[in-house]
Amino acid sequence: MAITIKEIAQKAGVSRGTVDRALNGRGGVSPEVERRILDIANLYGYKPNKLAKALATKANPSKIGLISIENIFFDQVIEGVIRAEEEISDFGVTVCRRMIRGYDAKSQLEAINSMVYQEKVDALAISPVSDRQVIARLAELAAEGFPIVNVNMDVPFSKKLAYVGCDYFKSGRTAAGLMGLITGERAQVGIISGCGNVMGHTQRVEGFMSVVKNEYPDIQVVDIADSYDDEQRSYDAVEAMLRQHPQIDALCFTTGGAGGGLKAAEALRGKRLRIVAFDQTPITERYLMDGLIKAIVCQQPNEQGYQAIRLLFEYLMEGERPASQQVLTELTIKIKQSMESESRGGAR
Amino acid sequence: MAITIKEIAQKAGVSRGTVDRALNGRGGVSPEVERRILDIANLYGYKPNKLAKALATKANPSKIGLISIENIFFDQVIEGVIRAEEEISDFGVTVCRRMIRGYDAKSQLEAINSMVYQEKVDALAISPVSDRQVIARLAELAAEGFPIVNVNMDVPFSKKLAYVGCDYFKSGRTAAGLMGLITGERAQVGIISGCGNVMGHTQRVEGFMSVVKNEYPDIQVVDIADSYDDEQRSYDAVEAMLRQHPQIDALCFTTGGAGGGLKAAEALRGKRLRIVAFDQTPITERYLMDGLIKAIVCQQPNEQGYQAIRLLFEYLMEGERPASQQVLTELTIKIKQSMESESRGGAR
DNA sequence: TTGAAAGCGCTAACAC
DNA sequence: GTGTTAGCGCTTTCAA
């Protein structure tokens, strides 16, 4: 059993109230006494009891804000957030969610301010776009000590609590590795990229190229097109690419939202193309089961949402910053058979 | 805010103690008063506060027993167990762990009894071998209402709380799917199976065969050998197999512990063989990075350990049985690039 | 600057 | 049968 405030108070020869003040930096404790208390707490590895704390602070419970993007991929992030919500609701901590349509900086700025000033949240989880003003605002808040976690999308500012998401560069490398495996390391590849102002998509392409360049002399990346995460534009991009480069026999889609592009690929070439894609969405899932896509490199959006909220919760409850500012979720690869849902059952 | 015991007591004109007795069916309450209390509780939708409950019962805390196998794979299960332990320690619940060398029924029986009678645990998580006596003992305990969760390995008895582990049949199917992808659906395959009395390994082989049979007319499974999860025997098995069937150009190892077999494969044929294996262990990891193994089908041992303990914890705290008796962890595929640890970093 | 004490919601031991 | 009371570990208010 861990040491309690009461025990520390005894050992230090002071009252519980004083220990509480010292431990939580509420001020009003003489430096000398504070030192003594902190030393004892440290020595015995004091960890506050979350339960007791939650019970005691039930009067003014904490609130976490979440600002995310409105689309099928982020729905999975939200699922994880909700899972975390259920776990922490017992502690009186609530989550206020806000979904934003598209990757719009203005709306994000508005949402941030609304969260802070209207909803008066105590912490923020956000999937920020790479926008100068958004970054500046987040940096400012973080500098004031406001806890912020970036989920799934990352932007640079030093005082953030953490980034929870995947390693996009590595996911690009993984896609290239898969491409090597399924093509016998010989292919003419076309890449269909996602949205320009989403940093992750760019990094995926870079990761992909790094492997092709260094490890697969017989794989050429013939063309790279941008789909702008739009149905029609991705259809057109793929159609144009395949017409212009008839030698292309493999495709890599760096975004899970390019249903149009996949449709074009199927229409023009059918299953002769070897296709690798990213992210499990209803679209990629369908084409994987269908056999058009051979493999998908997935992040774990559900886990990301869950971890982001948990991290903020731990911070609010115990004041503990995560061990690393980069909390990377594992990459997982899916193929048809690993996606199938039916089980033959095991022991009863 | 939900209604509390105190408030119910006021409304019913009785003491908190009486309400507690009535609500928890501890007896010693007159039927008439009990009715009144229950009605009020119902009317106002009383829900007990978990935190307060846990705090109050901290005096006689619960204890969960864990019986697992002593090897590198199960170390990962233990990691997850420890993660869960940390989370539930606030609730005063502890975990008593016991690792057993090998798949020995006798030792498992002893451990079970020791846990129940000496350690007096309130619940048990176990990775049971497929042994008649072990199953009988577990079934007996479960029938008495003792909560039992099977972790990673499953055996049949009806009253278990749950099995937490992967779908072995499906993992076999996934390995076959991978084999199809990396061989262009044309190969002569040898299978090196694991331990006979581990049900999962058998199911993996069956899953593998089911895909080959139905989907890959040009893949033949030439031979199946047993490695008994032993270094030397697996070396010998592979050596014999490759000598006897020179046409074999692909291998599937259904166990992550067969380092000897992999060594033999490398010695005799080098990287010309296309190899698929199961489970991330230091051995499979090394050979994957090395290029001998092309892909690994992983379960999530860490998650399995975590979930098993969480499930028992929830049951002990709230009396809630899991929604399904089969809690299946997702399969993940690893290739060289997705295993690499270095990141090029993203936003700071 | 420090201490004392009253709760948060629940359980359990003991008294009536 | 039922009421009373003392905690569980922490926060917070009010005195000193």
CATH of the domain at B43: 1.10.260.40
* A23 Cβ within 7 A of any nucleic strand D atom: yes
- Rg over alpha carbons for chain A, rounded to the nearest Å, is 25
> Do residues A138 and A94 both lie within one domain?
yes
Q: Looking at residue A159, what is its pLDDT?
A: 95
What confidence tens digit (pLDDT) does each residue in B130-182 have? Answer: 999 999 999 999 999 999 999 999 999 999 999 999 999 999 999 999 999 99
Q: Within a domain: residue B337?
A: no
Name the average pLDDT for chain B.
92
* Percentage of chain B lying above the pLDDT 90 cut: 77
Q: Within a domain: residue A347?
A: no
B4-16 average pLDDT score: 92
Q: What tokens does A219 get?
A: 């794989």
Is A178 within 8 Å of chain B by CB? yes
Residue B51 and residue A51: Cβ atoms within 8 Å?
yes
Is B256 within 8 Å of chain A by CB? no
- Output the CA angle B302-A295-A264, nearest 5 degrees: 145
d(C-alpha A343, C-alpha B169), whole Å: 7
> Do residues B187 and B271 both lie within one domain?
yes
Q: Of B185, B182, B210, which Cα lies nearest the Cα of B294?
A: B182
What residue is closest to C2 (Cα–C1')? A18
How many angstroms separate the CA of A27 from the C1' of D12?
14
What confidence tens digit (pLDDT) does each residue in B262-317 have? Answer: 999 999 998 899 999 999 999 999 999 999 999 999 999 999 999 999 999 988 88
Name residues 258-317 of chain A within 8 A of B (Cβ): 294-295, 297
Q: Looking at residue A348, what is its pLDDT?
A: 54
Chain A: closest CA distance from residue B325 (Å): 9
Q: Within a domain: residue A210?
A: yes
- Protein-proximal nucleotides of chain D (any atom < 7 Å from a CB): 1-5, 7-13
Q: State the pLDDT confidence band at B197, using cuts at 50, 70 and 90.
A: low
> Do residues A238 and A259 both lie within one domain?
yes
Q: Within a domain: residue B345?
A: no
> Which residues, 6 or more positions from B271, have their beta carbon under 8 angstroms from its beta carbon?
B291, B292
Q: Where are the beta strands (DSSP E) in chain A?
A: 63-69, 94-100, 123-126, 148-151, 162-165, 187-193, 219-226, 250-253, 274-278, 293-298, 326-328, 332-334
Residue A90 and residue B168: Cβ atoms within 8 Å?
no
Name residues 40-99 of chain B within 8 A of A (Cβ): 49-52, 54-55, 89-92
Q: Within a domain: residue B74?
A: yes
Q: What tokens does B333 get?
A: 């595929």
A61 φ/ψ angles, rounded to the nearest 5 degrees: -75, 160
Is A183 within 8 Å of chain B by CB? no
Residue B334 and residue A333: Cβ atoms within 8 Å?
yes
pLDDT at B326 over 60: yes
Do residues B279 and B256 make contact, with C-beta atoms less than 8 angstroms apart? Answer: yes
> Do residues A100 and A179 both lie within one domain?
no
Do residues A292 and A324 make contact, with C-beta atoms less than 8 angstroms apart? Answer: no
DSSP state of A337: H
The label of the residue with tokens 């004041």 reads A319
On chain B, the residues whose CB falls within 8 A of the CB of A184 are 184
Q: Looking at residue A92, what is its pLDDT?
A: 83
Residue A235 identity: Y
Which of A335, A343, A346 lies nearest to residue B177, judging by beta carbons?
A: A335
Q: Looking at residue A229, what is its pLDDT?
A: 75
Note down the domain range covering A250: 168-298
> Do residues A101 and A130 both lie within one domain?
yes
> Do residues B80 and B149 both lie within one domain?
yes
Whether the predicted model's global pTM rises above the 0.95 cut? no
Which of A50, A157, A176 lies nearest to residue B90, judging by beta carbons?
A: A50
> Which residues, 6 or more positions from A264, have their beta carbon under 8 angstroms from its beta carbon?
A234, A235, A236, A238, A239, A242
**CB count in 10 Å sphere of residue A196:** 13
Helices of type H across B184-222: 199-215
* B311 Cβ within 7 A of any nucleic strand C atom: no
Do residues A262 and A293 make contact, with C-beta atoms less than 8 angstroms apart? Answer: yes
CATH number at residue B217: 3.40.50.2300
What confidence tens digit (pLDDT) does each residue in B44-62 have? Answer: 999 888 889 888 887 678 8
The label of the residue with tokens 């980034």 reads A163
End-to-end CA distance of chain B: 41
Q: Looking at residue B196, what is its pLDDT?
A: 65
- Rg over alpha carbons for chain B, rounded to the nearest Å, is 25
* B89 Cβ within 7 A of any nucleic strand D atom: no
- For residue A292, what are the β-bridge partners? none
Q: State the pLDDT confidence band at B344, using cuts at 50, 70 and 90.
A: low
Residue ranges for chain A with pLDDT beneath 70 = 1, 59, 196-197, 342-348
**Torsion (CA) A124, A128, A133, A136 in degrees, nearest 10:** 50
Q: Of A132, A176, A127, A165, which Cα lies nearest the Cα of A148?
A: A127
Q: Looking at residue A342, what is its pLDDT?
A: 57
Chain A: closest CA distance from residue B343 (Å): 7
Q: Looking at residue B2, what is its pLDDT?
A: 80
Determine the number of helices (DSSP H) and then strands (DSSP E) in chain A.
14, 12
Q: Looking at residue B138, what is its pLDDT?
A: 98
Could you give the number of structural domains in chain B? 3
Q: Within a domain: residue A234?
A: yes
Which of A211, A338, A345 lies nearest to residue B331, judging by beta carbons?
A: A338
How many angstroms separate the CA of B128 from the C1' of D10?
42
- For residue A32, what are the β-bridge partners? none
> Do residues B137 and B90 both lie within one domain?
yes
> Do residues A160 and A172 both lie within one domain?
no
> Do residues A223 and A284 both lie within one domain?
yes
> Do residues A199 and A276 both lie within one domain?
yes
d(C-alpha A327, C-alpha A331), whole Å: 13
d(C-alpha A99, C-alpha A197), whole Å: 18
Residue A91 and residue B346: Cβ atoms within 8 Å?
no
> Which residues, 6 or more positions from B274, have their beta carbon under 8 angstroms from its beta carbon?
B179, B182, B183, B187, B249, B250, B251, B294
Edge-to-edge strands, sheet with B293-298 = A219-226, A187-193, A250-253, A274-278, A293-298, A332-334, B332-334, B293-298, B274-278, B250-253, B187-193, B219-226
Q: Within a domain: residue B344?
A: no
Q: Within a domain: residue B312?
A: yes
On chain B, the residues whose CB falls within 8 A of the CB of A51 are 51, 54-55, 90-91
> Do residues B150 and B175 both lie within one domain?
no
Which of A90, A331, A335 lies nearest to residue B51, judging by beta carbons?
A: A90
> Do residues B161 and B309 both lie within one domain?
yes
Specify the length of chain A in residues. 348
Question: How many Å separate Cα B53 from the centre of its chain?
Answer: 29
Which of B91, B171, B333 lies nearest to residue A333, judging by beta carbons?
A: B333
d(C-alpha A61, C-alpha B90), whole Å: 19
